[in-house]
Structure 1
Amino acid sequence: MMPAGAVHADRRARVLAQMPPGAVAVLGTAPEVMRNGDSPYPYRHDSYFYYLSGFAEPDSVLVLVAALDARPARAILFCRAKDPDHEIWDGFRYGPDAARTAFGFDEAYPVDELDHRMVGMLSNAPALYYAPGHSAALDAQTTGWLKGVRALGRTGVTAPATTHNLLMLLDEMRLVKDAHEVDLMARAGAISAAAHARAMRATRPGMIEYEIEAELLHEFRRNGAQAPAYSSIVASGPNACVLHYIANDRRILDGELVLIDAGCEIDGYAGDITRTYPANGRFTAPQRTLYELVLRAQAAALAAVRPGQPYSGIHAAAVRVLTEGMLDLGLLDKRKVGSVDNAIDTRAFAQFYMHGTGHWLGMDVHDVGVYRDLALSDKPSRALQPGMALTVEPGIYVRPADGVPEEYWNIGIRIEDDVVVTDTGARILTDGVPKDVAEIEAWMKAAR
């Protein structure tokens, strides 16, 4: 496996290879945002910028210049100047010279020189690749650079004739993970699984949801993860029927289920796991019935994760199992919805299962990449290929309603794992926490 610096240099080379000779690409990182006074929010780099640079400091811009004639391609970093006085207050910063060496850039300069140098680099460049709408500040700077180049028109200098959305190119690259990325995602998955296992063991009726959240956060940090990959969901009882519930402030009652949807981020890559289990360690009969239905749906969906198969087949497999179960259990009235096929065609199942069965996963928990093959006129679901990473997360959510059997009211269940498509099928990255009924009950009994 290549070292991290070589991985990022290889990605930059792949971008440059897709640009015409002499073209210029510009990409900035995320800004530092103040929370109040002089206290910023915890800083998190821009995913696209980090994907190409491996550099995590704010106030940074990456410029790529494609080779032209005898002039080689260049990767140029603009970053904060070295400043010992600021480092006393805010910590280490690389500065251009050290950053160039440490991260394998061809050139590096203080970010204060960006505007001046960009006018020169864009002069006579045939094309500009940037990220329109991604950063209002960088959009304004780009407009200023182009105006500066056009002002030199009387001297024979020309501005780029075409502009291209750099993010569309990067989305396709990021969609297929390399070995370095899969390794990081496996670590994120393992840490996230350990956190879920810890939370499951710690749960007792009478606790407040945020106490369980604290167990997750403890396990994330003690294993080296920098932060949660998203706001953790710890939803008990009826809260489990709220898909993105994050208040986490309800007291957990005896006999209820607890749904946890949480994952950590490590070195820029996300884990994303959901488990549902009984607070007292024992499923009731209705809870078990619905849980095992969702587990069967997940097994069917996982079996559909194969190279060459359409992404949409994952959802279709889960929906069929869930819909059959809804009809068998009386959640859906056969007299009203008819056959399984009709219930699927009319989306009758959406009363109890209203979301998709997964999403791309990577640097962002809902990662980039289109789900359809845009190269074909009818834009079918795109085929899975080795290296794609995604979640598989069917669920069922039963809110009180007329005609719905009361024993299932306020039961929400979701089971989610992270997978990477391989040459022969799928590798599950998050199997370190139990999900079979017998395993969960035995695990929780042993912890008491």
Structure 2
Amino acid sequence: MTSKEFARHRKQLLSSMDPGSIAVVPTSPERQRNRDVDHPYRPDSDFFYLTGFPEPEAVAVLIPGRRVGKKLAQYILFCRERDEQMETWHGRRTGLEGARQHYGADDAFPIGDIDDILPRLMENKTRVYYAMGTHEALDNKMIGWLKEVRKKERSGIKAPIEFASLDPLVHEMRLFKSRAEISHMRRAAKVSAQAHCRAMQVCRPGMMEFQIEAELVHEFMKNGCRSAAYPAIVGGGENGCILHYTENESRLNDGDLLLIDAGAEYHNYAADITRTFPVNGVFSPEQRALYQLVLDAQKAAIAKVAPGNHWNQPHDAAVRVLTRGLIKLGLLKGPPAKLIKEGAYRRFYMHRTGHWLGMDVHDVGDYKIDGKWRLFEPGMALTVEPGLYIPEGCKGGAKRGWN
């Protein structure tokens, strides 16, 4: 994705901000795994969406209409300076000049100088856009900076009078994907599909769930997706009925089904695919019937994903198909409309049919507008993943071996 893409995001946001406002957008902090080992670093999604900057210890500041002399300087980036010794140990840094040249910053300052510079940038601003409560350390700094500006009010300098979350503006933008973003998501989806196919090909009774997970991760990485979008769920047998099962430590048994929920991440854009198949490669009649029912529900839901339809129509379509199918299989009894109204299907299908997808696997964006389900529009991306879960001991599940 080119720097022009991120510049376009900033331009759109700046045009939506109030005059006399300032936005402060930090990236994610580094997270300790244990002792002196950190987790692999991944920048905050909102921050990366606006900057494309991949390093930790960085804060982006956006000020509509700001000028330095005759030069428009609306985008300021605080980041780490170049440091030969630190770079020898921990890898290359972009530095201040690189932030300007490669990431489009109008001004770049050392992150260590933010306490001196940012309060001055807040002077005479009426509104501060900042997601208070998401970055504890910066929350405290922000309060301190505001106090500093207020101390200058007797000299005619005005302090901000309002804090507002930037989320509604940025998250509405992120809901609509550009061509470049869709290209990244297609790449993540293609690699993820290849990984699922590979898992199906290698799976055998007696293997461990984590061995299948290893096949998935290897396929991701060898195709340029350096990480998974979320921890893979690889659940054989009854483990597949635990919605967010991630232990992946059990042995796969002959005759069981294997559920895999796994997606790759490509340049911070996620895929999300869930598939279920027989460990031994052959469906039993009962397994095939349930699989076909879920597939029919998915196809019915996908048919409702179209501009002008509302968010809940795919879910409603899936629920209708699943409920009728469960009645046919003898797992539910009664009129379909009554069972749907009562939510009887939730015993076997307890989650929604989909969610927004993008930089985050459960991506940002409102599902309702003024209390009504949102209408689909071009550029939106969502998952369609109905399911059925019939665990051991489930009432009615033992009949005909449904579980």
TM-score of the pair, normalised by structure 2: 0.97
TM-score of the pair, normalised by structure 1: 0.87
Displacement of 1:73 in angstroms is 5.0
Displacement of 1:408 in angstroms is 3.8
- What does the per-residue CA deviation read over 1:366-385, in whole Å, with 9 as the maximum and x for residues that have no partner? 001111013xxxx1110010
- What does the per-residue CA deviation read over 1:80-119, in whole Å, with 9 as the maximum and x for residues that have no partner? 1110100111000111111211011111111011111111
Partner of 1:386: 378
Partner of 2:230: 230
Is 2:353 aligned against 1:357?
Answer: yes
Structure 2: distance between partners of 1:21 and 1:405: 65
Residues 312 and 237 of structure 1, relative CA distance in 2, 3 Å threshold = same
2:40 pairs, out of 42, 45, 57, with 42
Give the secondary-structure state (helix, strand or coil) at the position aligned to 2:57. coil
Structure 2: distance between partners of 1:406 and 1:250: 26
Displacement of 1:26 in angstroms is 0.3
Structure 2 matches for 1:320-331, cutoff 5 A? 320-331=320-331
Give the secondary-structure state (helix, strand or coil) at the position aligned to 2:206. coil
Give the secondary-structure state (helix, strand or coil) at the position aligned to 1:259. strand
Structure 1: distance between partners of 2:246 and 2:400: 26
| Larger relative contact order (Cα-Cα within 8 Å, sequence gap ≥ 6) | 1
Partner of 1:216: 216
Structure 1: distance between partners of 2:396 and 2:66: 71
Partner of 1:204: 204
Paired amino acid for 2:252: I
Structure 2: distance between partners of 1:387 and 1:381: 17
Structure 2 matches for 1:23-422, cutoff 5 A? 23-67=21-65, 72=72, 74-332=74-332, 334=333, 338-374=334-370, 379-399=371-391, 400-410=393-403
Structure 1: distance between partners of 2:291 and 2:232: 21
Is 2:12 aligned against 1:6?
Answer: no
Paired amino acid for 1:401: C
Give the secondary-structure state (helix, strand or coil) at the position aligned to 1:244. coil
Structure 2: distance between partners of 1:56 and 1:227: 15
Structure 1: distance between partners of 2:8 and 2:73: 13
Q: Is the 8 A contact 1:21 1:68 kept in 2?
A: no
Q: Is the 8 A contact 2:73 2:107 kept in 1?
A: no
Range 124-133 or range 228-237, more displaced: 124-133
- What does the per-residue CA deviation read over 1:213-268, in whole Å, with 9 as the maximum and x for residues that have no partner? 00001101101112111010111111111111111111111111111100111100
1:18 pairs, out of 16, 19, 36, with 16
Q: Is the 8 A contact 2:231 2:262 kept in 1?
A: yes
Paired amino acid for 2:340: I
Q: Is the 8 A contact 1:331 1:405 kept in 2?
A: no
The alignment's C-alpha RMSD in Å is 1.3
Range 339-348 or range 165-174, more displaced: 165-174
Residues 274 and 402 of structure 1, relative CA distance in 2, 3 Å threshold = closer
